[in-house]
Chain A
């Protein structure tokens, strides 16, 4: 299988090696066409966003206004804070020039002069590597004003790294923009969408690092080639990050539509000690978890996973074996969302805290069966009632974990009290009295 994003070429992070292997040929080809042609090709290729929502990339680009006197911007999302997701760092480390080339082509297609690459602050090492690559690209004339003479075209763009500072929420596109603007990472109300009002109120497109890195091969080899790889409705390859209870955790680039079981057993070497799988989160911690007996036949693409009751997310697969305490897992996940909630919307700010408190109570052995229903109820009241998707991300694990693993959670809560002798006083309360039998004295 051919790899698109992380080809098996040693030292591809050196510009000479990258150039020898067809580097910046896609950019040259792109500059011989009109921006609309590029957008059309990306649309036809069926490339979908790799950041979680799996939105059609070409369609997103086409939302950018064609005629505007405002500057346009491209943001490349490398915040990568979703627990279970660790794919973008591989691109920064092993294939930075393809990302740069993708950024150039995207800027040309949408008419942006400046691209900001947002990388999470903890990635010091990868920020340095990426900065080196960008500096090299500037030196060699692949970025900045020198591009005009390098490519012989009346277009140039700049690429800057913006370093995050440890906030999960900044992976959300509108709070990422606020963060670049130097504000707190609060998500914005949509509409207006970024293509209408983005960075500093100007038209902006935001794409994931992996999405952008997919662009050069599509332009170079054609959209037909790309659209035939993997699942037809979600073509291409994905960087699957497998972690948790597997023998060979890591990042693997594979075509979409691969069987989840194949990914776990053949690619990642199965579960240590040949244990059974209790639970798998297929797309990063905010996606609904699947039970071990639900995995058979599930394919790793947006459509199949939706049909299976989960979502592809960022392709971060977390595997848990039969001995895992799911209560502790859920408590840890909920603690994460409580910590990372930005605090703008009440349902999320308060709800995530409540869910954590209830789960803690259950963990301490003071929970009752009613608490499980309460958790689901709180989760349902967060879901869909917040500005951004963090609310849903916090609610889904709780809601689906309890629904799908109810028997296990029942074990952690106190059994319902059954009185040995029927309590007459209490049972009176539940005696049904028809209103018709009550005669009001006049």
Chain B
């Protein structure tokens, strides 16, 4: 599957590139833009990023595999991230995690067969005072209970 940045995304990337004295520094914004366009990062995506920025492909690979927010496999339409770190754990983070796992019938980093949901047990998301919390794609949901989580999951179409 070949991958090419869209015209619009190339412009965005060019804007990001201008912020830094070296092209390599724009690799993280580039991966973000590519992930937005393609859903996840494949070999072809990394080749395209390397070509566009004029950097080595191995540098792209190194960065993609280091950071947890870059996905090398497809995630669901709704990527549910559940925090189970200390502050959330003390206020029932694991109950939420177990509940979501059993409700959707999938485990960590798995996707439901219809491709709608994927779940990830994440480290502290910086919402400790509003624990327990989950994040769905880019949005935070805080001060949760099982009932609230059920409501949120049912509202996702």
Whether, in the assembled complex, A130 has its beta carbon less than 8 Å from a beta carbon of chain B, the answer is no
* Distance of B107 from chain A, by nearest CB (Å): 16
Whether, in the assembled complex, B138 has its beta carbon less than 8 Å from a beta carbon of chain A, the answer is yes
Q: A181 contacts which of B24, B62, B127 (Cβ < 8 Å)?
A: B24
* Distance of B60 from chain A, by nearest CB (Å): 9
Q: Which residues of B contact A (CB under 8 A)?
A: 19-22, 24-29, 31-32, 55, 59, 62-63, 66-70, 81, 84-87, 89-91, 122-131, 135, 138-140
Whether, in the assembled complex, A151 has its beta carbon less than 8 Å from a beta carbon of chain B, the answer is no
Contact assessment for A85 and B29 in the assembled complex, using a CB-CB cutoff below 8 Å: no
Instruction: State in angstroms the CA–CA spacing of A82 and B123 once bound together.
Output: 10
With both beta carbons as reference points, the residue of chain B lying nearest to A90 in the complex is identified as: B129
Contact assessment for A166 and B68 in the assembled complex, using a CB-CB cutoff below 8 Å: yes
The size of the chain A interface, using a CB distance under 8 A, is 55
Q: Assuming A200-B22, A245-B90, is B139 touching A179 (CB within 8 A)?
A: no
Contact assessment for B62 and A122 in the assembled complex, using a CB-CB cutoff below 8 Å: no
List, in ascending order, chain A residues with CB within 8 A of B22's CB.
181-182, 200
Q: A84 contacts which of B20, B31, B128 (Cβ < 8 Å)?
A: B128
Instruction: State in angstroms the CA–CA spacing of A183 and B32 once bound together.
Output: 15
With both beta carbons as reference points, the residue of chain A lying nearest to B85 in the complex is identified as: A83
Contact assessment for B124 and A165 in the assembled complex, using a CB-CB cutoff below 8 Å: no
List, in ascending order, chain A residues with CB within 8 A of B84's CB.
332
List, in ascending order, chain B residues with CB within 8 A of A83's CB.
85-87, 123-124, 128
Most chain B CB neighbours (cut-off 10 Å) among A84, A165, A318: A165
Instruction: State in angstroms the CA–CA spacing of A85 and B123 once bound together.
Output: 12
Interface positions of A from 178 to 192, Cβ below 8 Å from B: 179-185
Q: Assuming A184-B63, A241-B129, is B85 touching A332 (CB within 8 A)?
A: yes
Contact assessment for A120 and B126 in the assembled complex, using a CB-CB cutoff below 8 Å: yes
Q: Can you name 11 A-B residue pairings with CB atoms under 8 Å? A: A81-B124, A86-B130, A125-B140, A163-B29, A163-B32, A180-B25, A185-B66, A243-B91, A281-B86, A336-B85, A336-B124
Known A182-B28, A241-B129, A249-B131; 16 more pairs at CB < 8 Å: A83-B85, A83-B87, A85-B126, A121-B32, A122-B81, A168-B124, A179-B28, A182-B26, A184-B62, A185-B66, A285-B124, A318-B90, A328-B89, A336-B86, A340-B123, A342-B66
Contact assessment for B87 and A244 in the assembled complex, using a CB-CB cutoff below 8 Å: yes
Contact assessment for A86 and B69 in the assembled complex, using a CB-CB cutoff below 8 Å: no
Q: Assuming A83-B124, A182-B27, A243-B129, is B66 touching A167 (CB within 8 A)?
A: yes
With both beta carbons as reference points, the residue of chain B lying nearest to A78 in the complex is identified as: B126
Whether, in the assembled complex, A339 has its beta carbon less than 8 Å from a beta carbon of chain B, the answer is yes
List, in ascending order, chain A residues with CB within 8 A of B87's CB.
83-84, 243-244, 318
Q: B89 contacts which of A122, A249, A332, A342 (Cβ < 8 Å)?
A: A332
List, in ascending order, chain B residues with CB within 8 A of A166's CB.
67-69, 122
Can you list the 4 inter-chain pairs with the closest CB atoms, starting with the nearest?
A165-B67, A243-B128, A166-B69, A124-B138
Contact assessment for A333 and B28 in the assembled complex, using a CB-CB cutoff below 8 Å: no
Contact assessment for A167 and B86 in the assembled complex, using a CB-CB cutoff below 8 Å: no
Instruction: State in angstroms the CA–CA spacing of A182 and B30 once bound together.
Output: 10
Instruction: State in angstroms the CA–CA spacing of A48 and B67 once bound together.
Output: 30
Whether, in the assembled complex, A324 has its beta carbon less than 8 Å from a beta carbon of chain B, the answer is yes
* Distance of A89 from chain B, by nearest CB (Å): 6
* Distance of A337 from chain B, by nearest CB (Å): 10
Interface positions of A from 41 to 82, Cβ below 8 Å from B: 71, 80-82
